[in-house]
Amino acid sequence: MQEFSTFVTHLECSYTGKLYPANQLHGLSEAGKPLLVRYDMEGIAKAVSKNDLQQRRPEFWRYRELLPVRKSENVVRLGELMTPILPATKLQQELGCGEILIKDEGRLPTGSFKARGLALAVAMAKELGVTRMAMPTNGNAGAALAAYCSRAGIETFVFCPEDTPKVNIEEIAFQGAKTFLANGYINDCGKIVGEGKAAMNWFDTSTLKEPYRIEGKKTMGLELAEQMHWTVPDVILYPTGGGTGLIGMWKAFDELEAIGWIGPKRPRMVAVQAEGCAPIVQAYDAGERHAEPWQNAVTIASGIRVPAAVGDFLILDAVRESKGFAVAVSDDAINEAQRECALKEGILLCPEGAATLAALKQELVTGRINPNEQVMLFNCATGLKYPMESEHKSIDLSKPIDYDFISRS
């Protein structure tokens, strides 16, 4: 049994700053806000160097000193890898803008970046003796929870809005979670999980309601900085639902600076939402620190259909501190961007990823993104998980093959 050295000192309420001990099971803080994991930064700086990383596998566990897991036996692996950063040179030329980079998270186990957060949450749950986990999900988080829990031998209950993409529902159930569809939104499903805690004795794994998913999502920031030779892009466009990834990356950059691996430069963080569900954008525009719950949320980008986020103030703080902004795009613009990227770059974005490209196009026009800026888009899941419009033509084999028709097509 190998011990990782862990540098966790304590947890801290992101709202009040109240401290909580490590090595205990935690949900939200007493103030009902997310808990953040804090580390002994000096200890980490002494224990590991950038060079040490080169001897380690190309996966996010290479950053283990900046992660909370204590015993390597609790790590559950499904072949995590460092996701590629793909330049989108044709789109760049066409839009007449600075470098466009796409971080393609669709390559991770279960086909989405939810694998990062859930790999950490499940490892920590295992370490802390949890045997039953539950979560509300719009699809990808449930799939990752189901996969990692089945592998770890933890029982899972997953609750989805009934209009969650069918593939997601099936993959969740198929990978062993007890799967339920409810006629409401993700927040309604969250209520089932929260209110059922006592009766069902399960651990609530909802976004930001436990402290470790954010540590997993943080690895996106660690990884992109390493891949960019310890620099960061000028702008990051992030499709924002619960905001774990945006908050996690923001935390990652601070931690990297604290151990001296990057300088003070930060990317401008842009929270991208869909026009049909844009609570963060509304709060940003109104100058508020908290978002009002969005009514009647509708968008094809199911991963960002989150009417109310517990970490709203953390998203808005990061966006403002970084001099970024929050912006909404229409479903039509999402569809168009998705098609354009597939056609021109051969990259099949998920609708949420396509939303970031749509936002880039829109904001180059308004001038909120400058044509000299280097921009990183996040494609959070493989496009293959989502329905696509069919664009093929059919051939009738009982007739002669009409090559003119084929050639004209």
Ligand X SMILES: *Cc1c(COP(=O)(O)O)cnc(C)c1O
Residues that bind ligand X (CB under 6 A): 112, 114, 140-141, 207, 217, 239-245, 303-304, 350, 352, 380-381
Q: Which is nearer to ligand X, 76 or 301 (by Cβ)?
A: 301
Smallest gap from residue 189 Cβ to ligand X (A): 14
* Burial (CB count within 10 angstroms: exposed 0-12, middle 13-18, buried 19+), residue 18: middle
Smallest gap from residue 270 Cβ to ligand X (A): 13
Let me know: does 361 contact 88? Beta carbons within 8 Å. no
Edge-first strand order for the sheet with 85-87 is 85-87, 100-104, 375-379, 235-239, 268-274, 325-329
Smallest gap from residue 74 Cβ to ligand X (A): 24
Tokens of 273: 């939402």
DSSP conformational letter for 59:
S
Interatomic CA distance for residues 186 and 157, integer angstroms: 14
Which residue's Cβ lies closest to ligand X?
303
Smallest gap from residue 161 Cβ to ligand X (A): 13
Instruction: Give the type of residue at 78.
Output: L
Interatomic CA distance for residues 30 and 18, integer angstroms: 9
What are residue 376's DSSP bridge partners? 101, 236
Place of tokens 């501190």: 321
Q: Which is nearer to ligand X, 6 or 137 (by Cβ)?
A: 137
Q: Which is nearer to ligand X, 68 or 303 (by Cβ)?
A: 303
Q: Which is nearer to ligand X, 239 or 324 (by Cβ)?
A: 239
Smallest gap from residue 207 Cβ to ligand X (A): 5
Q: Which is nearer to ligand X, 44 or 272 (by Cβ)?
A: 272
Let me know: does 172 contact 150? Beta carbons within 8 Å. no
Smallest gap from residue 358 Cβ to ligand X (A): 14
Give Rg (Cα) of the chain: 21
Let me know: does 264 contact 296? Beta carbons within 8 Å. no
Q: Which is nearer to ligand X, 29 or 207 (by Cβ)?
A: 207
C-alpha distances (whole Å) from 40 to each of 37, 46, 65, 207, 212 are 10, 10, 10, 25, 17
Smallest gap from residue 316 Cβ to ligand X (A): 13
Q: Which is nearer to ligand X, 225 or 350 (by Cβ)?
A: 350
